A and B are shown apart, each in its own frame.
Chain A
Amino acid sequence: MDTAVSLKKTPLNAVHRAAGARMVDFGGWDMPVQYTGIIDEHQTVRQRVGLFDVSHMGEIEIRGPEALNLVNYVSTNNAAKLKIGQAQYSGLLYEHGGFVDDILVHKVDDDHFFLCVNASNQEKDYDYISTMNRGFKATVEFAGDRYAQIAVQGPRALETLAKLTRTNLAAIRYYWFADGEAAGIPARIARTGYTGEDGFEVYVAPDEAVKLWLALLEAGQEFGIAPAGLGARNTLRLEAKMALYGHEINASITPYEADLAWIVKMDKGDFLGREALAKQQAAGITRKLTGFEMRGRGIGRDGYEVQVDGQPAGWVTSGGPAPSLNKNIGLCYLPVGLAEPGRTIHIMIRNQPVEAVTAPTPFYKRAK
């Protein structure tokens, strides 16, 4: 398709195409949605190890004596609690409490923070943080072009990556990272992911991405490694109930509504959105992100109306098959009073109400 010309490409684009991946426009990026099949790739990650090109994700570096103050002002979690080499999931909010983006904050040094942000939000995030920096005078760098990112995810991820690095991976705890090397390439290795499995997200220079990708595929061969696309990434994160910007969270949704109160630290001092969140906390939320399982035939998909007792009550944010659970699942917003698990609801699928039941989340939790 000729439309691909205007799309942004990761350094691995030609590798995906050569592997026969189906490519799609994902927020302006030409990305692999699947290689062999979404369900297949999903199971590979749950049972063995999968490789994801997530180089489209954005990076923002914040440096200087004021770096911590800026990060803590623009984000909801408490970056002051981070130790060097530790990462945290956080929210970047507007004053009114809605999400600009959800982000990962890595503390590289006392005066250096490394933010991983959503691909399609990276320019917006950079502009927003830069504007807020006027009162701080930290150095804010748009670093998306300096990093490729490869995610190695699944129960055999550690063994796979361990073959390529001298960095002691077992010593990196969940949501910690180390600056080391992989396949002879300087790499930031973080024990993070978006699949609900153990694994690593590895940041390298873009011109080294192909070398690392191929080395990982070879190293993981004995464990049954396979590349996985954005399709599987979505079913995996949905089972683990991880939010996707533009679906569960957006500019009109607050962390409290999105069931993300744990990333809001009201006691850390002032931050963007704090006042609005304090008000919402006092008044109580009216709607809440809720899981559901389909009982009837069909899949409740993004944007579909949810009805309770024949009345419109909410909307679906994400829905799809859960290959690990053999069910069709989804997430939706419902009034707080209707959001407890076990309630019969109906999803309007192509103008027909199809029965579903609200369900506890996450749908999938890996055995530790």
Chain B
Amino acid sequence: MTTYPEDLYYTKEHEWVRVEGQSATIGITDHAQSELGDIVYVDLPQPGATIEQGKTFGSVESVKAVSDVYAPVSGEVAEVNQTLATNPEKLNEDPHGEAWLVKIKLTAPDEIKQLLSAADYQKYIGA
């Protein structure tokens, strides 16, 4: 049984976000990687790009299909996880940890309030 860390916020589109002051780290959930299956490509924006809550900012492609990744919160991309370009399978192995997607500088921190808690997210996915 996967545990969904209590210190993360979640979306119904299966992204997570960890907030640290004015910065946030964004990834996709274990449920998302599991539904996708073997991940073969991860497409992410460049540092400096702005992302907007609810809008797609990248995509994750598995053997089966390609899925958009939606921004849980708005901000400016500060760092992109380079590991995923060469080792996309990391996303299957450690989606809540090592395989984060991007780090951003938050531009609308209040948006966090609209996200789900770990408990709510688990209820949502029926876990």
Residues of A within 8 A of B (CB): 22, 33-34, 37-40, 231, 235, 297-299, 301, 320-321, 328, 350
Is the Cβ of B61 less than 8 Å from the Cβ of A231? no
Measured CB to CB, the closest approach of chain A to B126, in angstroms, equals 9
Once the chains are docked, how many angstroms separate the CA of A297 from the CA of B40? 10
Considering residues B37, B38, B43, B59, which has the most beta carbons from chain A within 10 angstroms of its beta carbon?
Answer: B38
Return the contact of A37 from the options B37, B65, B66 (Cβ within 8 A).
B37
Contact B63 A320 (CB under 8 A): yes
Q: How many residues belonging to B are interface residues under a CB distance threshold of 8 Å?
A: 12
Among B37, B41, B65, B92: residue with most chain A CB under 10 A = B37
Q: What chain A residues lie within 8 Å of B40 (beta carbons)?
A: 299, 321, 328
Provide the bound-state CA to CA distance between A325 and B2, in Å: 33
Partner of B63, one of A22, A297, A298, A321: A321
Q: A22-B37, A231-B37 are in contact. Are A38 and B59 (CB under 8 A)?
A: no
A residues near B63, Cβ cutoff 8 Å:
38-39, 231, 235, 320-321
B33-48, CB under 8 A of A: which get 1 and which 0?
0000110110100000
Known pairs A38-B64, A299-B40, A350-B66; list 19 more (Cβ under 8 Å): A33-B37, A34-B37, A37-B92, A38-B63, A39-B38, A39-B63, A40-B38, A231-B37, A231-B64, A235-B63, A297-B43, A298-B41, A299-B66, A301-B65, A301-B66, A320-B63, A321-B40, A321-B63, A328-B40
B64 touches A299 (CB 8 A): no
Contact check: which of B37, B38, B61, B92 meets A299 at CB < 8 Å?
Answer: B61
CA of A40 to CA of B38 in the docked complex: distance in angstroms?
9
CB distance from A45 to the nearest CB of B (A): 14
Nearest to A349 among chain B residues (CB) is B66
Q: In the complex the two chains form, is B59's CB within 8 Å of A299's CB?
A: no
**4 closest cross-chain pairs (CB), A and B:** A38-B63, A39-B38, A37-B38, A38-B38
Question: In the complex, which residues of chain B have a beta carbon less than 8 angstroms from the beta carbon of A22?
Answer: 37
Q: Tell me the minimal C-beta distance from A30 to chain B in angstroms.
A: 16
Which of these, A37, A38, A40, A298, contacts B61 with CB under 8 Å?
Answer: A298
Residues of A within 8 A of B41 (CB): 297-299
Give the CA-CA distance A38 to B40 in the complex, in Å.
11
In the assembly, what is the distance between CA of A299 and CA of B66, in Å? 9
19 contacts between A and B (CB under 8 A): A33-B37, A33-B64, A37-B37, A37-B38, A39-B63, A231-B37, A231-B64, A235-B63, A298-B41, A299-B40, A299-B41, A299-B61, A299-B66, A301-B66, A320-B63, A321-B40, A321-B63, A350-B59, A350-B66
**Distance A235 CA – B40 CA, assembled complex (angstroms):** 14
Set A38, A328, A350: member contacting B37, Cβ < 8 A:
A38
Q: Provide the residues of chain A in CB contact with B37, threshold 8 Å.
A: 22, 33-34, 37-38, 231
Nearest chain A CB to B1 CB, angstrom units? 13
Taking CB as reference atom, which chain B residue is nearest A33? B64
Query: Which residues of chain A are within 8 angstroms of B64 by Cβ–Cβ distance?
Result: 33, 38, 231
Closest-CB distance, A2 to chain B (whole angstroms) = 11
Q: Residue on A with the closest CB to B92? A: A37
Q: How far is the CB of B63 from chain A (nearest CB, A)?
A: 4
A40: chain B residues at CB < 8 Å are 38
CA distance A328 to B41 in the complex (A): 11
Q: Which residues from A are CB-within-8-Å of B92?
A: 37
In the bound complex, how far is the Cα of B38 from the Cα of A301, in angstroms? Answer: 16
- The interface bits of chain B over 11-38 (1 if a CB of A lies within 8 angstroms of the residue's CB, else 0) are 0000000000000000000000000011
The docked-state distance in angstroms from the alpha carbon of A243 to that of B61 is 24
A102 to B84, CA, bound (A): 41
Distance (whole angstroms) from the CB of A327 to the closest CB of chain B: 11
Q: Contacts of B38 on A, CB cut-off 8 Å?
A: 37-40
Distance from A342 Cβ to chain B, minimum over Cβ atoms (Å): 25
Whole-angstrom CA separation of A22 from B43 in the bound complex: 25
Bound CA span A277–B61, Å: 40
Chain A contacts for B65, CB-based, 8 A = 301
User: What chain B residues lie within 8 Å of A231 (beta carbons)?
Assistant: 37, 63-64
**Smallest beta-carbon distance B95→chain A, Å:** 15
Q: What separation, in Å, do the CA atoms of A22 and B31 have in the docked complex?
A: 13
**In the complex, which residues of chain A have a beta carbon less than 8 angstroms from the beta carbon of B61?**
298-299
| Chain B residues, CB < 8 A from A298 | 41, 61
